[in-house]
A and B are shown apart, each in its own frame.
Chain A
Amino acid sequence: MTEPKPAEKPEPDDTAPVTPAPETAPERPAEEPADQERRPGFGSLFLRYVTTANTVMVTLYSFLLAMVIGAVLIIVSDPAVRGTFTYFFSRPTDALSASWTAVSDAYAGLFAGAIVNFTTLAEFQAGEATIGRLLSPISETLTYAAPLILAGLAVGLAFQAGLFNIGAQGQVIMGTVGAALIGFGLHLPAYLHLPLALLGGAIAGGLFGAIPGVLKAWSGAHEVITSIMLNYVALSALGWIITNEFVKDPDPNKQYAISKPADESSLLPRLAGMLGIDAPGLRANLGIIVAIAAAALVAWLLAKSTLGFRMRAVGLNAHASRTAGMSVPNTYITSMGGAGALAGLAGATLVLGISPHALTHGVAGEVGFDGITVALLGRAKPWGVVAAGLLFGALRAGANTMQSTLPLDMVTLLQALIVIFIAAPALVKAMLHLKVPAGGLATTTAKGW
């Protein structure tokens, strides 16, 4: 849970600015008194903002620090670059240029694979490249981002109610099952089939997600433990379901474990087709719109609705909420059920949006676990989660194109580093000698640890 509001931004008050705790800035004590005498200008306000460990700057610095450490690892892990360091003193330019090339190639590749490749852009303007090739990086980013955003919302919503939903992975798996069963089990026109399949995923995930909520409400069992364990239950259940007679693809050429594919009418239509762009290779589908709509719904729920108010109140202080007459157990159940439904929706976008549109053992990938990191990076706020999901989607898309020069694990590592720094703002503050903001350091964690 985030701290109640005040930590967000340092307010540029008319009164004298609050002097930060002196122990953090020993190297520039002389500047502070001068500031206090007159109203600070934009420059000094900006300087103070960027040198304070507030939420925005910690997030930004976490990303930059992760990139720096990533750069060091890129240099160290490349045998060719490492080789140039063995003769550093006889020709240092080799080592420096090789390092620079390795790092800049990697990060440029990441950008080119995730947003836009400038070489392709130039070719496109010259009429040599198709629109499909130009848009493919951004299309990949959106494809990967959609389930990540939904899974991130699932974890974030639970955070808001003070619950740590580690069970997102299991709920995503159940969502894939619900969506797939409706996808190949029913044969309906598209305008009915697709919404029903999405709903099926959400309901399956929601029911499965509600279990830890019920257990916590009725017996006090900690949701972290129960939801972790339910991940295993979901995975084993998936294995059993796939090999089931009704589900298994009867095609004799498909000897491996795979379910029947979902009907065409239940699949998420591709954005390129909807926008009239002739590029069959672009995978980005309606899933990203579903994800953003879900984020808007969650934002509205938390900010405007009674239910959302109750969730946040319970998240901030369950005892006070109970005294105020709210039903804490019911809030646990609805929060976890809602979180599960969001994760289930993530599962539905995986099955209905990504080939082979069927259940396999790996259908959910690591989406549920990545959702935890997305929610942490997005500070459990709906629009923050959207931004974080887009960033992680971009990293995944970029990683695919970067892998000819760098191992795929590098991106997992970058993600992990970012989250470590976000989760430990004191570390970022100490490394960069930042000041403590007015409300103290903000971390995103659940209550009850």
Chain B
Amino acid sequence: MSRRVRTALTSLVALGAVTLTACGEAPDESGSDGGDFQACMITDTGGVDDRSFNQSVWQGLNDAAESNGDIEPSYLTSASEADYEPNLSQAVSKGCEVVVAVGGVMTDATRAAAEANPDVFFVMVDGLIDLPNVYSVQFDTAQPAFLAGYLAAGTSETGKVATFGGMKIPPVTIFMDGFAEGVAHYNREKDADVQVLGWNPETQEGSFADSFTDQSAGRSLTQNFLSQDADVILPVAGNAALGAPSAAEGTEGAKVIWVDFDGCEAAEQYCALFLTSVMKNIPPVVADTVTEAQAGENRTGSFIGTLENDGVGLAPYHELESEVPAGLADEVSALREQIIDGTITVDSPASP
């Protein structure tokens, strides 16, 4: 078969395929657009589908749009930190009524944009800006981490629990502080001696993966803890934390507590290993703030997510519910009430 014939045949087949797929009916012309209240989000370098902060803020905007058709959410992606400034000013110049900035590193750029545009309403997630047109949203995760520590201590069969962080920075160590305090509280209440590996709240020293992406680092830290007989692990290390359930999978009785989001949604495949998750409830606060702004009520000041306002909390126990003794679950609920009414205070040097 000559080359020309072969080419012709190939083209014919391709044309046929195109013809078949292209035979649909033309739809009627119609135009329906979303609302006209533009709620714009500026992602940090993680992007909108990072299974973390950005994704939950985007979720919140979409929730708001779903319940109120006048809100039209959109986002601008930052590929690098140098993109924060132009993205913020682009959001302002395209007429966004609400600009939601995500991530602490964007704080300075957002403050500058808010000062330059006093008529635009800004929401700063995970950073604090003291300006009348900015609403700052932060989370005191030490509180639910305390509950998780208590729960871990009560569930542990070996009397050892462990935690490790991605990097030694306050947003990470706040979890580890709360966790260690929760364990200490259990020891006092029950006269027990459950040990915490990987973090010492007094010296503020502990184990770190030195990465938020390196899963093998998370895995080897976890294996290390498991070999020292720890059976409940709290990894606070972004994607590197995925190394923990992957290492725990092969060990009988090993459990993992996820952070930021419900582990059974963020990393479904490991749901059977997740005792619970220390959650930040970002979507509701973002959705409410935007919905109120659309109604003409701009929130001012700041929001600190606590157990009391449901800004933070523990996720359901999911598949491991049977492993948690009934008494313990009640004690955790009671502790939650005590933290809310102020009988117990959870202190971390990193609390907002």
Which one of B45, B107, B174 lies within 8 Å of A254 (CB-CB)? B107
Q: What 0/1 pattern do residues 79 to 121 of B give for CB contact below 8 A with A?
A: 1111111110110011000000001110111001000100000
Q: What is the minimal beta-carbon distance from B277 to any residue of chain A, in angstroms?
A: 21
Chain A contacts of B342 at CB under 8 A? Answer: none
Q: What 0/1 pattern do residues 35 to 52 of A give for CB contact below 8 A with B?
A: 000000000000000000
Q: What is the minimal beta-carbon distance from B5 to any residue of chain A, in angstroms?
A: 19
Is A6 close to B, CB under 8 A?
A: no
CA distance A321 to B23 in the complex (A): 68
Chain B contacts of A86 at CB under 8 A? Answer: 21-22, 24
Q: A86-B21, A86-B22, A89-B23 are in contact. Are A408 and B80 (CB under 8 A)?
A: no
Tell me the total A-B contact number using a CB cutoff of 8 A: 108
Chain A contacts of B81 at CB under 8 A? Answer: 354, 356, 360, 362-363, 365
Chain A contacts of B167 at CB under 8 A? Answer: 239, 243, 257
Chain A contacts of B126 at CB under 8 A? Answer: 256
Q: What is the minimal beta-carbon distance from A33 to any residue of chain B, in angstroms?
A: 27
Listed residue (B82, B83, B90, B127) with the most chain A CB atoms within 10 angstroms of its CB: B82
- In the complex, the answer to whether B90 meets A85 with C-beta atoms within 8 Å is no
- In the complex, the answer to whether B86 meets A258 with C-beta atoms within 8 Å is no
- In the complex, the answer to whether B210 meets A239 with C-beta atoms within 8 Å is yes
Chain A contacts of B108 at CB under 8 A? Answer: 261, 355-356
- In the complex, the answer to whether B352 meets A255 with C-beta atoms within 8 Å is yes
- In the complex, the answer to whether B22 meets A89 with C-beta atoms within 8 Å is yes
Chain A contacts of B104 at CB under 8 A? Answer: 254-256, 258
Quick check: which of A193-201, A395-403, A422-430 contacts chain B, the rest being far away?
Answer: A395-403
Is A118 close to B, CB under 8 A?
A: no
Identity of the chain A residue whose Cβ is nearest the Cβ of B77 in the assembled complex: A408
Q: What is the minimal beta-carbon distance from B70 to any residue of chain A, in angstroms?
A: 19
CA distance A363 to B85 in the complex (A): 14
- In the complex, the answer to whether A133 meets B84 with C-beta atoms within 8 Å is no
Q: What 0/1 pattern do residues 54 to 72 of A give for CB contact below 8 A with B?
A: 0000000000000000000
Is A327 close to B, CB under 8 A?
A: no
Identity of the chain B residue whose Cβ is nearest the Cβ of A143 in the assembled complex: B82
Listed residue (B77, B128, B168, B169) with the most chain A CB atoms within 10 angstroms of its CB: B169
CA distance A239 to B208 in the complex (A): 12
Interface residues of A in 326-367 (CB under 8 A from B): 350, 354-356, 360, 362-363, 365-366
Interface of A is mostly: loop
Is A15 close to B, CB under 8 A?
A: no
Interface residues of B in 36-90 (CB under 8 A from A): 45, 74, 76-77, 79-87, 89-90
Chain A contacts of B169 at CB under 8 A? Answer: 243, 255-257
Q: A87-B24, A243-B167, A243-B168 are in contact. Are A256 and B105 (CB under 8 A)?
A: yes
Q: A133-B93, A255-B169, A401-B90 are in contact. Are A355 and B84 (CB under 8 A)?
A: yes
Chain A contacts of B250 at CB under 8 A? Answer: none
Is B13 close to A, CB under 8 A?
A: no
CA distance A239 to B116 in the complex (A): 32
Is A219 close to B, CB under 8 A?
A: no
Chain B contacts of A236 at CB under 8 A? Answer: 210
- In the complex, the answer to whether B45 meets A400 with C-beta atoms within 8 Å is no
Is A184 close to B, CB under 8 A?
A: no
Is A90 close to B, CB under 8 A?
A: yes
- In the complex, the answer to whether A404 meets B94 with C-beta atoms within 8 Å is yes
Is B198 close to A, CB under 8 A?
A: no
Is B27 close to A, CB under 8 A?
A: yes
- In the complex, the answer to whether A87 meets B105 with C-beta atoms within 8 Å is no
- In the complex, the answer to whether A140 meets B86 with C-beta atoms within 8 Å is yes
Is B171 close to A, CB under 8 A?
A: yes
Chain B contacts of A401 at CB under 8 A? Answer: 90
- In the complex, the answer to whether A356 meets B105 with C-beta atoms within 8 Å is yes
Q: A89-B23, A356-B105 are in contact. Are A253 and B82 (CB under 8 A)?
A: no
Q: What 0/1 pattern do residues 227 to 249 of A give for CB contact below 8 A with B?
A: 00000000010010001000000
Is B350 close to A, CB under 8 A?
A: yes
Identity of the chain B residue whose Cβ is nearest the Cβ of A90 in the assembled complex: B26
- In the complex, the answer to whether A354 meets B85 with C-beta atoms within 8 Å is yes
- In the complex, the answer to whether A87 meets B85 with C-beta atoms within 8 Å is no
Q: A85-B22, A355-B112 are in contact. Are A281 and B350 (CB under 8 A)?
A: no
Chain B contacts of A89 at CB under 8 A? Answer: 19, 22-23
Q: A133-B93, A400-B86 are in contact. Are A258 and B105 (CB under 8 A)?
A: yes
Identity of the chain A residue whose Cβ is nearest the Cβ of B128 in the assembled complex: A253
Q: A257-B169, A362-B45 are in contact. Are A350 and B105 (CB under 8 A)?
A: no
CA distance A88 to B76 in the complex (A): 32
Q: What 0/1 pattern do residues 166 to 185 of B give for CB contact below 8 A with A?
A: 01111100100000000000
Chain B contacts of A365 at CB under 8 A? Answer: 79-82
Which one of A94, A280, A360, A397 lies within 8 Å of B105 (CB-CB)? A360
Identity of the chain B residue whose Cβ is nearest the Cβ of A139 in the assembled complex: B86
Q: A143-B82, A258-B104, A363-B81 are in contact. Are A355 and B27 (CB under 8 A)?
A: no
- In the complex, the answer to whether A281 meets B90 with C-beta atoms within 8 Å is no
CA distance A143 to B93 in the complex (A): 19
Which one of B25, B80, B112, B352 lies within 8 Å of A362 (CB-CB)? B80
CA distance A362 to B105 in the complex (A): 9
Chain A contacts of B24 at CB under 8 A? Answer: 86-87, 90
CA distance A83 to B83 in the complex (A): 32
CA distance A118 to B112 in the complex (A): 28
Interface residues of A in 272-292 (CB under 8 A from B): 280-281, 283
Is A91 close to B, CB under 8 A?
A: yes
Is A144 close to B, CB under 8 A?
A: yes
Chain B contacts of A281 at CB under 8 A? Answer: 89, 116
Q: What is the minimal beta-carbon distance from A138 to any residue of chain B, in angstroms?
A: 13
Q: What is the minimal beta-carbon distance from B328 to any residue of chain A, in angstroms?
A: 32
Identity of the chain A residue whose Cβ is nearest the Cβ of B105 in the assembled complex: A360
Q: What is the minimal beta-carbon distance from A44 to any residue of chain B, in angstroms?
A: 31
CA distance A236 to B81 in the complex (A): 18
Identity of the chain A residue whose Cβ is nearest the Cβ of B109 in the assembled complex: A355
Chain A contacts of B86 at CB under 8 A? Answer: 140, 283, 397, 400
- In the complex, the answer to whether A88 meets B82 with C-beta atoms within 8 Å is no
Listed residue (B74, B76, B80, B168) with the most chain A CB atoms within 10 angstroms of its CB: B80
Chain A contacts of B18 at CB under 8 A? Answer: 88
CA distance A396 to B126 in the complex (A): 27
CA distance A400 to B112 in the complex (A): 19
Chain B contacts of A397 at CB under 8 A? Answer: 86
Q: What is the minimal beta-carbon distance from A206 to any residue of chain B, in angstroms?
A: 23
Chain A contacts of B89 at CB under 8 A? Answer: 136, 281
Interface residues of B in 321-352 (CB under 8 A from A): 350, 352
19 A-B pairs (CB sep. < 8 Å): A87-B26, A90-B24, A239-B167, A239-B210, A253-B128, A256-B103, A256-B105, A280-B116, A283-B85, A354-B85, A355-B108, A360-B81, A362-B80, A399-B79, A403-B76, A403-B77, A404-B76, A407-B77, A412-B79
Given contacts A91-B26, A354-B82, A365-B82, 11 further A-B pairs with CB under 8 A are A87-B23, A90-B26, A239-B167, A243-B168, A255-B171, A255-B174, A355-B108, A355-B112, A403-B77, A404-B94, A408-B77
Question: Which 9 residue pairs spanning A and B have beta carbons closest together?
Answer: A365-B80, A256-B104, A88-B22, A356-B108, A255-B170, A91-B26, A87-B24, A86-B24, A253-B128
